Every structure is written in structure tokens, then in C-alpha cells.
Amino acid sequence: MTRGRFATHDFELRDDVVVKRYRSWERQEHRREWEALTVLGAYAPGLAPAPVEAALDAMPPSVTMSRLPGIPLRGERTTDEQIEAPADALGRLREAVPAGVVSSMRPAVWSPATAVAKARAWAAGRQPGPGDDPVVRRAHAQGMSWLAGPDPDELLADPFPPVLGQGDGNRANYLWDAHDRRIRLLDWEDSGRSDRAFELGDLLEHVSRLDGDLDAARLLDHIGLTRAERSRVLGFRRLIAFVWFSTLGPEGPFAARNPAGTWERQAGRVLELLA
């Protein structure tokens, strides 16, 4: 879970529960989180923190949930077992929650349409200058060319059933429990009805990937996707990688959060995925 000056919430850690208080709630973060935890508690107990109580109309609103053991996958070099565990957790998430329940939920905050719009807005507004790294300039040019093609719009039509998604691919939200040898899923404040391929693309290409190591190919192999699903995941990986590239530059909103050289590293990732 994110803390510090960029956090959107505060935590009170007790012996067996966590109280999460929200600094902002214009996206209905507190209600989204409570709804997701309640659904998961009913259909996939143990996959996420158990809901305890909520003060949804308080100022600030809060949600109290069970406290789970473990360490975040962010910043870790994952083992074979830790690669299989998130695949198993995501598989359970997909299979356990009934389709009718998922369909009744509001769309997740971070969605394919939001990502496409964000990529186009930021990429058009931030042009690399003549002094920028040549890899950065090449990534921008190739990314803009891809955005202008048919692929991004084709990704918006999902031919597969929706899933309950976190709407946040930060690997800090994947908690490895070494005792039970399993992954549990945290932070549901942006959650809702989502596109499975988009959720996977977001997990694989969230900027938190730079803080550790997760073998994307092996993770996808363990999940067992069809050819069509793999194609959609690749499309979303390209999209999300370019979103991060566009927002990590010197004028982007996330530049201050990351060390020097992050923009250039992300440019290399964009070129790798578009190859």
C-alpha cells in the first residue's frame, strides 16, 4: 500500500485489523473498496482483507479490514513460486465471483477507455525536445504512430466476460504470505467491473515493475490464456507502457516520484513492446 506525500489514504495498524481513512473520495474510493471487500468476503474469502466495518458517511470516510501477513511483491526478485501465486490468485478472482455480481458493479476507475484517452492527451501535449535522449524521441515517435493506428480503439471492445478488477496494477498490492505460500490482493479503492486483459496488462506494465523482477512471459504461461487473450494483453501492455512513458517525463505528474533515468528506462520498454 502506498504511503507518504503521494498517498490517497492513511492507515491505522492495529493487532488484527487495519483502519483505512481516505484523504479523497471523489471517485467513491471508500464505497468501491467496501463493496469489493464485501463481494470477495462472500465469494473468495481469504483472497483479500476481510471487511470488518465501514464509516462510509464519516468525514473522512474509513473502512476497517482484517490485517494480513506478508510482504509486497514490489521491490522483490520473484521466485518461481511467487510467479505462480499471483496467477493462482487472479484465476481464483476470475472464477469465484459470479458473472451476475460482476456485471452489477460500477466500472473500475482505471479502464481501457481512460487509458487510451490519457495516452493521447499526454503524448500530444509533451513533445520530446531536441536535447532529449534519442531513445526517448524514438519511443515517442513510435508510440504516437501506434496510437494513431487502429489497435487502441480495437482494444475498447472486450469480447470476453468482465471481471472484478483492482484498477491498480501496483505490485505493492500483491502481498506474498510465505507461511501459507499464497498471494493476497490489497487496495480496492479504484476497483469495479473491468477487462481481464487490461488488468493483466496493467499488472505487467505498471511502473512498479522497475522496482523488482517479475517474469511476464512465465506469469502469462501459468495463467493459460488463449491466443486472442494474449493478443489483447500485449495491446494493453503497449498502451499502459506508453501512458507511463508519457507521464514520467520532466513535465509529467509522476516525474517527482521516480529516480533520475526512469523516463529513459521506460522509453526502452515502449520500444521493446512495440518491436
Question: 3 falls in which pLDDT band (50, 70, 90)?
Answer: very low
Is residue 198 within 8 Å of residue 220, measured between CB atoms?
A: no
Give the rounded percent of residues in the chain with a pLDDT score beyond 90.
80
Domains within the chain, CATH numbers bracketed: 69-113+148-274 (3.90.1200.10)
pTM over 0.85: yes
Whether 76 has a pLDDT exceeding 70, the answer reads yes
Residue 1 binned pLDDT confidence (cut-offs 50, 70, 90): very low
Q: d(Cα 123, Cα 65) in Å, to the nearest integer?
A: 39
What integer best gives the mean pLDDT of the chain? 92
pLDDT for residue 130: 57
pLDDT at position 7 over 80: no
Q: Tell me which residue of 114, 266, 111 sits closest to 199, measured CA to CA.
A: 111
| Cβ–Cβ under 8 Å, residues 243 and 115 | yes
Task: Compute the average pLDDT of residues 180-193.
Answer: 97
- Residues whose CB falls within 8 Å of the CB of residue 220, separated by 6 or more in sequence, listed in order: 200, 230, 233
CB 208 within 8 A of CB 76: no
User: Per-residue pLDDT tens for 10-54?
Assistant: 999 999 999 999 999 999 999 999 999 999 999 999 999 999 999
More confident residue, 75 or 63: 63
DSSP label of 194: E
Q: pLDDT value at position 75?
A: 83
pLDDT tens digits for 194-253?
A: 999 999 999 999 999 998 888 999 999 999 999 999 999 999 999 999 999 988 887 777
- Residue 9: the pLDDT is 81
Q: What pLDDT score does 16 carry?
A: 97
Residue 6 has a pLDDT of 52
pLDDT of 154 > 60? The answer is: yes
Instruction: Report the pLDDT value the prediction gives residue 17, as an integer from 0 to 100.
Output: 98
Mean pLDDT over residues 254-262, rounded?
Answer: 82
Q: What are phi and psi of 85, to 5 degrees?
A: -60, -45
Residue type, position 49, single letter: P
